[in-house]
């Protein structure tokens, strides 16, 4: 079974100083052995979106693009927990 888990949040700002909460979701894979033992493994591909549900694309370390409107919004973050 595969699901997603919220694994991180951080704040990013646009050029006008508007703040956006960025949420990082990590796929979680539930594994079962033949004996029935269960294990959870984190997937490699993480997904980013704003707290309002807009898609976020990582451009570079600390640089992101918020998609979903008429124009993409470039935001940056110096938060140490940022992806």
Residue 82, domain member (yes or no): no
What is the DSSP-derived secondary structure letter of residue 77? -
Residue 32, domain member (yes or no): yes
Give residue 9's domain range: 2-76
Q: In angstroms, rounded to a whole number, what is the distance separating the alpha carbons of residues 16 and 76?
A: 11
Residue 83, domain member (yes or no): no
* pTM, to two decimals: 0.80
User: What pLDDT was estimated at residue 34?
Assistant: 76
User: What pLDDT was estimated at residue 39?
Assistant: 76
Q: What is the mean pLDDT of each run of 10 residues along the chain (83 residues)?
A: 87 96 92 76 86 95 91 93 79
Name the token pair of 1: 């079974």
Number of domains in the chain: 1
């Amino acid at each position: 079974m595969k699901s997603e888990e919220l694994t991180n949040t951080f704040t990013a700002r646009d050029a006008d100083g508007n703040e956006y909460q960025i949420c990082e979701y990590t796929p979680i894979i539930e594994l079962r052995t033949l004996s029935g033992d269960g294990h959870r493994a984190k997937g490699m591909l993480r997904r980013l979106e704003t707290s309002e549900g807009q898609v976020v694309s990582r451009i570079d370390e600390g640089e992101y693009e918020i998609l979903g409107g008429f124009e993409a919004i470039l935001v940056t973050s110096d938060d140490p927990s940022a992806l």
